[in-house]
Amino acid sequence: FSTFPGSPKWRKNHISYRIVNYTLDLPKESVDSAIERALKVWEEVTPLTFSRISEGEADIMISFAVGEHGDFYPFDGVGQSLAHAYPPGPGFYGDAHFDDDEKWSLGPSGTNLFLVAAHELGHSLGLFHSNNKESLMYPVYRFSTSQANIRLSQDDIEGIQSLYGARPSSDATVVPVPSISPKPETPVKCDPALSFDAVTMLRGEFLFFKDRHFWRRTQWNPEPEFHLISAFWPSLPSGLDAAYEANNKDRVLIFKGSQFWAVRGNEVQAGYPKGIHTLGFPPTVKKIDAAVFEKEKKKTYFFVGDKYWRFDETRQLMDKGFPRLITDDFPGIEPQVDAVLHAFGFFYFFRGSSQFEFDPNARTVTHTLKSNSWLLC
Amino acid sequence: YPLHGAVRQDHSTMDLAQQYLEKYYNFRKNEKQFYKRKDSSSVVKKIQEMQKFLGLEITGELDSNTVELMHKPRCGVPDVGG
């Protein structure tokens, strides 16, 4: 990594930003969300915090422009230069400009706004380009579903922490730092010992999460695809606890520790993560083991240890009379489940390398399978 | 501009290289066209500087890897400090 000449940095930890205008390529809330997530990338590894203002001069002014736009670095149409940003300081310093001749997107097609914004905001905070190809601050744009290049590398983390230090470890809400080095082991789908962190459906597909990856099984292709979580949802952590699709709202809720995120398609919704206690859990609940939505009843079941809670998605409230013991209502299912899926009228409980098909009408386990049976193993 | 056995470069590649080096590597603008320069040492040096920064093999030539990377979209902030 490197910093700008003279190593300019903000002399305060609370920094304001303002989105001055918007691209027409994306809904405004998607731009807001991408910028918010891009700032969070840096916030998670430093003592810095960011607040958005809607008028006046912010430390970081974010704008979309084409061609000559009032500085000495005109944009150049489609391709080549995508954006630029200035190092910390007064006036235009710290500002980030995005070339609106690009086709801004939230996914792999076009130019991914979150990825570019995270890079540019790195400049706004004082990082110069890195010659480490794996780093976010490498100058050449790459969006590959097979690479973890949209996460902070150790190089980026060391760079930003050389300016601002690390996030105080006493902060209980700290999210584990996403890092690409050292690389954790890649899970193998037909490993007989394979277990899952979380399982959910998404728009008719089955998703099986494990560490930094997930398998995606569609109805059209029985051979599951294997992806990095970060390739679809760059701001999500790895090693998830639970996930479920509230398909009456076209969103998937993802849980890790005391926080949860909402995603719609490949877009993480603005305003997340939120605390799990906002759903109505008591303070004693520190994390969720598994979650599943039963669409016929519009109820979500949350499994924690040997108990489960039932959440009414219509009222957005926990049902009274819960928690109840898992074994009381799901006889044959052992406490502490890893993940649960609801499909074809059955509940599928995952625990370690085993999977239990449970018939809710007969209130009995009808089949015991390997966890990875869904992956054609 | 000597190509040292590399694939013959067309003018558009040369133009791209000249603009790229000027924009991102503080290459001194020259009235002469990049590909007509008699003294190529400063050009080679700049290409080497770019290749080193971008993690490419340092050949000083506009080889296919270098040209391919120059075509990719990137951040507009120059790679060398002003």
CA distances from A29 to A231, A265, A321 (A): 21, 15, 38
d(CA A123, CA A73): 15
Average pLDDT over residues A327-338: 92
Position B30 pLDDT exceeds 50? yes
Q: Which residues of A are known catalytic residues?
A: 120
Q: What is the pLDDT of residue B34?
A: 64
Over range A308-313, report the average pLDDT: 96
pLDDT at site B32 = 56
Average pLDDT score over residue span A116-144: 92
- Pairing state between β A96-99 and A60-65: parallel
Q: Considering only residues A48 and A228, tell me which one the structure prediction assigns the higher pLDDT.
A: A48
Query: CB A80 to CB B81 under 8 A?
Result: no
> What local confidence, expressed as pLDDT, does residue A185 receive?
66
B12 has a chain A CB within 8 A of its CB: no
DSSP letters for A108-158? SSSEEHHHHHHHHHHHHTTB-----TTSTT-SB----TT--TTS--HHHHH
Q: What pLDDT does A377 receive?
A: 82
Q: Which two tokens stand for residue A13?
A: 């930890």
Looking at beta carbons, which residues of chain B come within 8 Å of A119?
75
- A-chain CB neighbours of B52 within 8 Å are 131
- Residue A241 is given by DSSP the state -
Q: Which residue of B has its CA nearest to A116?
A: B75
Picking from A100, A52, A46, the residue whose alpha carbon sits closest to that of residue A74 is: A100
How confident is the model over A139-163, as a mean pLDDT? 77
pLDDT at position A23 is: 97
- Is the Cβ pair B74, A123 closer than 8 Å? no
Identify which of B24, B77, B82 has the shortest CB distance to residue A85: B77
Q: Which residues of A touch B80 (CB under 8 A)?
A: none
The answer to whether the CB atoms of B75 and A82 lie below 8 A apart is: yes
Q: Do A111 and B77 touch (CB under 8 A)?
A: no
- The whole-angstrom distance between B45's CA and the closest CA on chain A is 17
What is the structure's pLDDT at B39? 55
Residue A141 to residue B75, Cβ atoms within 8 A: yes
Residue A20 φ then ψ, to 5°: -75, -40
A90-103 CB burial, b ≥16 within 10 A, e <16:
eeebbbbbbbbbbe
CA–CA separation, A180 vs A182, rounded Å? 6
Question: Above 90 in pLDDT, residue A253?
Answer: yes
Q: What is the mean pLDDT of chain B?
A: 79
Across the interface, whether the CB atoms of A128 and B54 are under 8 A apart is answered no
The sign of the dihedral angle between the CA atoms of B44, B45, B49, B50 is negative
Best CA proximity match to A99, nearest among A141, A72, A66: A66
Distances (CA, A) of A275 to A173, A249, A271, A280, A286: 10, 20, 11, 10, 10
Q: What order do you get walking across the sheet with A205-210 strand by strand?
A: A198-202, A205-210, A213-217, A225-228
Rounded mean pLDDT of chain A?
90
**Structure tokens of A320?**
């009274």
Tell me how many residue pairs between chain A and chain B have CB atoms under 8 A apart.
Answer: 59
Instruction: Look at residue A290 in the predicted model and tell me its pLDDT.
Output: 97
**Ramachandran region of residue B12, left (φ > 0), alpha (ψ -120 to 50) or beta?**
alpha
Give the model's confidence band at B4: pLDDT under 50 very low, under 70 low, under 90 confident, else very high: very low
Average pLDDT rounded to a whole number, residues A93-110: 93
Q: How far apart are CA B44 and CA B59, in angstroms?
A: 8
For residue B5, the tally of other CB atoms under 10 A from its CB is: 6
Residue A84 is nearest to which of B53, B77, B82, comparing CB atoms?
B77
Secondary-structure breakdown of chain B: helix, strand, coil percentages, each rounded to the nearest 5: 45, 0, 50
Tokens of A133: 């190809």
In a 10 Å sphere around its CB, with 0-12 CB exposed, 13-18 middle and 19+ buried, how is residue A153 labelled? buried
Taking CA atoms, A254 is separated from A175, A235, A327, A348, B73, in Å, by 14, 12, 25, 18, 33
CB A329 within 8 A of CB A336: no
| Ramachandran bin of A190, using left for φ above 0, alpha for ψ from -120 to 50, beta for the remaining angles | alpha
pLDDT tens-digit map of A343-360: 999 999 999 999 999 999
Average pLDDT over residues A262-287: 91
Least confident of A62-76, A234-248, A280-294: A234-248
pLDDT tens, residue by residue, A159-183: 999 999 988 764 434 444 444 444 4
Q: Which of A34-38, A187-191, B4-8 has the lowest mean pLDDT?
A: B4-8
Choose the weakest-confidence range: A1-15, B39-53, B54-68.
Answer: B39-53
Burial letters A349-369, b for 16+ CB under 10 A, else e: bbbebebbbbeeeeeebeeee
CA distance A40 to chain B (A): 20
DSSP three-state, residue B21: helix
Nearest residue of chain B to residue A99 (CA atoms): B76
| Chain segment A112-126, per-residue pLDDT in tens | 999 999 999 999 999
Q: Mark yes or no for CB contact B75/A75 under 8 Å.
A: no
With a CB-CB cutoff of 8 Å, which residues 38-77 of chain B face chain A? 52-55, 69, 72-77
Distance CA A256, CA A272 (A): 12
